[in-house]
Structure 1
Amino acid sequence: MSEALLPRDTPVCLIDQHGTAVEDSEYRMPDAGRLREAYRALIEARRINDQASALVRQGRLAVYPSSHGQEACQVAASLVLGERDWLFPTYRDSVAVIGRGVSPADAMVLLAGDWHSGYDPNEHRVAPQATPLATQLLHAVGFAHAAKHRGEDTVVLALCGDGATSEGDFHEALNFAAVFHVPVVFFVQNNEFAISVPLSRQSAAPSLAHKAIGYGMPGQRVDGNDVAAVLAVLGEAVDRARAGGGPSLVEAHTYRMQAHTNADDDTRYRERADVQAWVDRDPVTRVRAYLMDQEALDEVAEEQFAAGAERIAAELRAALNNDADLDPEDLFRFVTAQRSPQLDEQWRMLRDEIARTAASDSATASDPVSTSGGTR
């Protein structure tokens, strides 16, 4: 029984880095239509990552944690879920959020420095992106527990990175999920670094997927840059949870090709040669090579996919180049259901200060002598 919970010694791979199919006794290759859909999404995902990074440099985004190189994980996470399923993402999972139907502009609201997540979680069945590590895992388990009590067939996919597995919330979430047998899949995108801390300083386990057996749930490892394998492994875990099989842990082995965020200098803790070694494992080029070899992709389709990605990028630019119409009272309006006297007092102080500043600016603008720099 315990051996059935252990992951493989090597990650599941269905398409190698050269685009060649790999036979597997347990997992089937997704059909060509499914892989074309995934490839289109990968093209869009890469373009979104590049455009968002450019918007940071232009000052239109406050921060952007790029998933460049991890797009196969992002795309598969959105594709394996059904209409009634829920996604609980992290701050690096904007592409997965967009894949669930959230507009790119709305998905970037939080990263632009606004006060809310930018989208209605209930409409898209996507929880707000979580910045604190692992806190969303507990929320995901609680949501899955409630869905089970209601008799729904909802499956919850909870995303996290390798750094989150060092948090106490990770342990509590997995333990509760296993004990109460809830329909949740924990998907760890192991990109080798928790900001500047390498995996070797986070865990001495053979793999992060091996942690699953300690909670009594199955664990599996997958090549996180092989979108076919991620679709197959994640899909199996989601189907298992929906059928009443309980939770599972999937670890995707991938790599963070760019810095943690625009505020990070990754040259301080990793060598360029190490990053370059992952270029040949790119998730976009390997599935493209496979589809071209299978004659399931041609130049016409590629041009259509690229054009679609450019439209998304253009819409994202246009949305973020518009200055937001901010209401300062929002700082106090949504803190509690009923505003306290202290918050009311703070709002009145700010309102009066804004009014005084506006009156002063108006007086200065209407005084020709003052605005010209002269004296009376």
Structure 2
Amino acid sequence: MLDILAGDIPATFLQLVTPDGVRQPDDRLDPWVEDVTGAHLVALYQDMVVVRRIDAEATALQRQGELGLWPPLLGQEAAQVGSARALRPDDFVFPSYRENAVAYCRGVAPADIVRVWRGNAQSGWDPYAFGMATPNIIIGAQTLHATGWAMGALADGVDSVAVTYFGDGATSQGDVNEALVFAASFQAPVVFFCQNNQWAISEPVGVQARVSIADRAPGFGIPSLRVDGNDVLAVMAATRIALDRARTGGGPTFIEAVTYRMGPHTTADDPTRYRPAGQLEEWAAKDPILRLRLLLDGLGLLTPEVEEQTRARADATAAVLRAGCIDMPDPEPLSVLAHVYTTPHAALDGQRANYAAYLAGFEQTSSDSTGGKA
């Protein structure tokens, strides 16, 4: 572990499974995944297939007018599943807005993943129930939350770790840099997990940094790892290394998972307007699900029974997501003012009373127009 973190950052990245599904040995990473059996590999494969299906179903729901917006994760399944499956229940995740696969791995119900995107809630789930904060739209702000939580864990004397996810573009934000300063200064047990998906909306990563994103962290005194983000096994190994370092008093670690956003930034985006011709095809050949499928096939583990079980699980999850989304009740109007403060607040009480009177005015108008019959 220490040799990797103390050495030069690789110009390419750490990798255990090649794009054509070949398992290659790596003395640095192998010890961290030696417990991963064939059954574990099948489970990781099924996770990625299911979350890709969730992504496709949510995209379809948005196109059909059932969701206001959706941030696809197509192509980033290995980065999210590999890291999420390395966590303990008492670790805490601080995501951006694209970590839908992480939410699935943490046990969040499919309908709750889309609740906020349907506009039915200010957040989709109870963060404490799943050890995961709800989506953060403000770019990079969640890194500060993670660092603060990690400093609290340090003060409490527990070995739980905060993990925060963000994109390559977020590393240019002041919040991320401030979080890195605090994490390094206080040796906070936090893992900064950057999914370098090559595009910050329409800006290529070359505009964000002239060197690899992983090169930035050592300047703050934080060791970093650069890993093939489409290799679920290598991602798991790198995350375990970082988690172990945090748990044993080594402080923060920065992981750059090199991956690719194969779809739009959100469903409001058209990537064909800025993505160079041929780039999608180049990265499609490195598809994270395809490479694990090839590995499993080579190991004789991708049996017809496994394939059928995987399809059935994906179909069932998509059906639950669709039904949960469409049948989701509309929120009560006054609920927009709930859970704003933890204690009673006079100004908020006044707003609630004014809003209630405003809503009551519509009821009176309706009653008047029908001669007293609503």
Q: Same fold (TM over 0.5)?
A: yes
Is 2:285 the counterpart of 1:280? Answer: yes
Which consecutive residues of structure 1, in runs of 5 or more, have no partner in the other structure? 367-376
CA drift at 1:6: 3.7
SS in 2 for 1:252: strand
SS in 1 for 2:123: coil
User: Aligned partners of 1:292, 1:232: CA distance in 2, in Å?
Assistant: 22
Paired letter, 2:345? Q
SS in 2 for 1:108: helix
Q: How does 1:224-303 map to 2 (within 5 A)?
A: 224-303=229-308
User: Aligned partners of 1:70, 1:344: CA distance in 2, in Å?
Assistant: 42
Is 2:115 the counterpart of 1:109? Answer: yes
SS in 2 for 1:249: strand
CA drift at 1:7: 1.9
What residue in structure 2 maps to residue 350 of structure 1? 358
Identity %: 39
Paired letter, 2:273? R
Aligned mate of 2:26, from 24, 33, 48: 24
CA drift at 1:356: 2.3
361 and 242 in structure 1: CA distance in 2 versus 1, 3 angstrom threshold: farther
Is 2:51 the counterpart of 1:49? Answer: no
CA drift at 1:325: 3.3
User: Aligned partners of 1:224, 1:360: CA distance in 2, in Å?
Assistant: 62
What residue in structure 1 maps to residue 136 of structure 2? 130
What residue in structure 2 maps to residue 177 of structure 1? 183
301 and 338 in structure 1: CA distance in 2 versus 1, 3 angstrom threshold: same
Aligned mate of 1:338, from 326, 336, 345: 345
8 A contact 1:333–1:339 mirrored in 2: no
8 A contact 2:334–2:356 mirrored in 1: no
8 A contact 2:120–2:331 mirrored in 1: no
CA drift at 1:15: 0.6
Paired letter, 2:39? G
CA drift at 1:142: 0.3
> Bigger CA drift: 9-18 or 354-363?
354-363
8 A contact 2:334–2:352 mirrored in 1: no
User: Aligned partners of 2:93, 2:160: CA distance in 1, in Å?
Assistant: 11
SS in 2 for 1:281: coil
User: Aligned partners of 2:368, 2:13: CA distance in 1, in Å?
Assistant: 66
User: Aligned partners of 1:323, 1:98: CA distance in 2, in Å?
Assistant: 19
314 and 63 in structure 1: CA distance in 2 versus 1, 3 angstrom threshold: same
User: Aligned partners of 2:54, 2:137: CA distance in 1, in Å?
Assistant: 20
8 A contact 1:42–1:71 mirrored in 2: yes
User: Aligned partners of 2:17, 2:362: CA distance in 1, in Å?
Assistant: 60
What residue in structure 1 maps to residue 94 of structure 2? 88
8 A contact 2:94–2:143 mirrored in 1: yes
1:56-103 CA distance string (max 9 Å, x none)? 011111111100000001111220101211111110111111110111
CA drift at 1:152: 1.0
Paired letter, 1:194? A
What residue in structure 1 maps to residue 15 of structure 2? 13
Paired letter, 1:177? A
User: Aligned partners of 1:68, 1:136: CA distance in 2, in Å?
Assistant: 22
Aligned mate of 2:221, from 211, 216, 223: 216
Aligned mate of 1:76, from 76, 79, 82: 82
SS in 2 for 1:257: coil
User: Aligned partners of 1:109, 1:82: CA distance in 2, in Å?
Assistant: 25
SS in 2 for 1:349: helix
8 A contact 1:5–1:217 mirrored in 2: no
CA drift at 1:266: 1.1
8 A contact 1:75–1:96 mirrored in 2: yes
8 A contact 1:107–1:117 mirrored in 2: no
SS in 2 for 1:288: helix
CA drift at 1:259: 0.8
8 A contact 1:84–1:125 mirrored in 2: yes
User: Aligned partners of 1:288, 1:320: CA distance in 2, in Å?
Assistant: 30
User: Aligned partners of 2:7, 2:362: CA distance in 1, in Å?
Assistant: 61
67 and 353 in structure 1: CA distance in 2 versus 1, 3 angstrom threshold: same
1:122-170 CA distance string (max 9 Å, x none)? 1111011101111000000000110111111101111000011010011
Number of aligned positions between the proteins: 365
What residue in structure 2 maps to residue 327 of structure 1? 332
Q: How does 1:52-71 map to 2 (within 5 A)?
A: 52-71=58-77
User: Aligned partners of 1:364, 1:200: CA distance in 2, in Å?
Assistant: 66
48 and 76 in structure 1: CA distance in 2 versus 1, 3 angstrom threshold: same
User: Aligned partners of 1:104, 1:167: CA distance in 2, in Å?
Assistant: 31
Which consecutive residues of structure 2, in runs of 5 or more, have no partner in the other structure? none
8 A contact 2:196–2:259 mirrored in 1: yes
> Bigger CA drift: 48-57 or 238-247?
238-247
Paired letter, 2:241? E
User: Aligned partners of 2:7, 2:134: CA distance in 1, in Å?
Assistant: 31
Which structure 1 residue ranges, 4+ long, deviate > 6 Å from structure 2? Answer: none
Paired letter, 2:358? L
User: Aligned partners of 1:118, 1:254: CA distance in 2, in Å?
Assistant: 27
What residue in structure 2 maps to residue 370 of structure 1? none
User: Aligned partners of 2:317, 2:242: CA distance in 1, in Å?
Assistant: 31
